[in-house]
Amino acid sequence: TRSTRPQRLLNAVRKHATRGDPQSVISAIDHFCRHSEWAMNIGDEKGSILDSVVSELNPEKVLELGTYCGYSTVRIARLLPPGARLITLEFNADYAAIARQVIALAGLEDRVQLVEGASEDWIPRMKEHFGIETFDFVFLDHWKDRYLPDTKLMEDCGLLRKGTVLLADNVICPGVPDYLQYVRNSLSYKSCYFKSHLEYTKAEDGLEKSVFLG
């Protein structure tokens, strides 16, 4: 049977990356997506913005919505201190299987917990199942029509605290108009836009950073 794009991406990582070296995994995926096949990873340009937000925040508890092949999981986890924890939710079993191997190749499995399932099912279970009180940082990169309902769900479940940072991918392309309107007009958030480009292209895209004010 034909291979899938995530499988071909994993093959490129196996071929070109060095086990235990997260930067080589990141570079291998970016090279594959630029020169072989485009894939919906955040990419190197928006990825650098993600790096700077994470480095400035130094979060202990991180939630990622939408793992895909684990590219942004590796970008975030490589910057976390060993005691920190990143929980990443992926509902597609094939993507999850690839991501587990990418995360292992980067040598970051000790600080990453990949959970297979949908955000709306797992967000309400974070406290009792993972012993999480609140998250310091949330990266949103799953279905664009889930950004807003899941943000409201995290608020309702008490998973956000004064100062929690939400960072949302693709706020221009494909776009998340209802989410943007909410975080930019709600008195509970301080929001700002980081202009960039859609991964591996010249099209405009950007990240929205929103601090929960409690």
Ligand X SMILES: Cn1ncc2cc([C@H](O)c3cccc(CNC(=O)c4cc(-c5ccc(F)cc5)cc(O)c4O)c3)ccc21
In this structure, how many other beta carbons lie within 10 angstroms of the beta carbon of residue 140? 28
Query: What is the b/e burial string over 30-60, where b = at least 16 CB atoms within 10 angstroms of the residue's CB?
Result: bebbeeeeebbbbbbebbebbbebbeebebe
The pair of structure tokens assigned to 65 is: 């919505």
The closest residue (CB) to Mg ion is 169
Q: Is 146 in the site for ligand X (CB under 6 A)?
A: yes
* Residue 169 designated active-site: yes
Which among 169, 205, 208, 209 is annotated as catalytic? 169
User: CA 180, CA 118: separation in Å to the nearest integer?
Assistant: 22
Instruction: Give me the least distance between CB of 192 and ligand X, in Å please.
Output: 19
Whole-number minimum distance, CB 88 to ligand X, in Å? 9
Please report how close the Cβ of residue 73 comes to Mg ion at its closest, in angstroms: 13
Q: Near ligand X by CB under 6 A, which window of 18-26, 79-87, 167-175, 187-195?
A: 167-175
Angle between helices 177-185 and 147-156 (to 10 degrees): 40
C-alpha–C-alpha distance, residues 90 and 88, integer Å: 7
* 190 catalytic per annotation: no
Q: How far apart are CA 151 and CA 104, in angstroms?
A: 29
58 has catalytic annotation: no
Q: Give the H or E element holding residue 207.
A: strand 204-212
Q: Which is nearer to Mg ion, 39 or 107 (CB)?
A: 39
Shortest CB 145 distance to Mg ion, Å: 14
- The residues in 42-101 that bind ligand X, with binding defined as CB under 6 A, are 65-68, 89-92, 95
Q: Does 141 bind Mg ion (CB under 5 A)?
A: yes
Let me know if 21 is a catalytic residue: no
Active site residue: 90, 170, 208, 209, which one?
A: 170
Task: Give the active site residues.
Answer: 141, 144, 169-170, 199
